[in-house]
Structure 1
Amino acid sequence: MTWHDFAPFTSSNIAAVRYDEDHLLLEVEFLNNTRYHYYEVPPQIALAFDQAGSKGTFLASTIKGHYRYSRV
């Protein structure tokens, strides 16, 4: 896999985000050390997430409930 790490950011809930465009796979790591994979996330959505001012708001409104996911 070829991961692209998101630019550094500050969040009260999210520790890190990275994206693999070849597999359309988005990984979100939370501050409580849990990680989730979101599947079939288009590149334009990942880019918008990377550029979002609030990662938590974007995750809640645009990712959760819209893409399949699993805890890893």
Structure 2
Amino acid sequence: MPSSVIKYFSYDTATETLKIIFTTDMVYLYKKVPEKVYKLLKASGSKGRYFNAHIKDKFKFRKLEEE
């Protein structure tokens, strides 16, 4: 999963929570993200572009402490 913006991401189907760790090591949890959005992010050729267009500013989020 090479991305210049996103280091790692995972999805919890039970809570519909998308966890994204950015290359800056900042960690965000995005709430109520449909599984389809996660799957499209996973399949996207540009994770950062997909994130900016379909996730950023579209879902509530919580910033966690850096990992």
| Corresponding position of 2:24 | 32
| Corresponding position of 1:23 | 15
Q: Which runs of 5 or more structure 2 residues have no equivalent in the other structure?
A: none
Q: CA RMSD in A?
A: 0.6
- Count of aligned positions: 64
Structure 1 moving runs of 4+ over 6 Å:
none
1:1-72 equivalences under 5 Å are 9-72=1-64
**1:48 partner amino acid:** L
Deviations 1:18-71 (A, max 9, x none): 000100000000111110000000011111111011000000000011100110
* Percent identity between the two aligned chains: 27
Q: Give the TM-score of the pair, scaled to structure 1.
A: 0.86
Q: Which runs of 5 or more structure 1 residues have no equivalent in the other structure?
A: 1-8
Q: Give the TM-score of the pair, scaled to structure 2.
A: 0.92
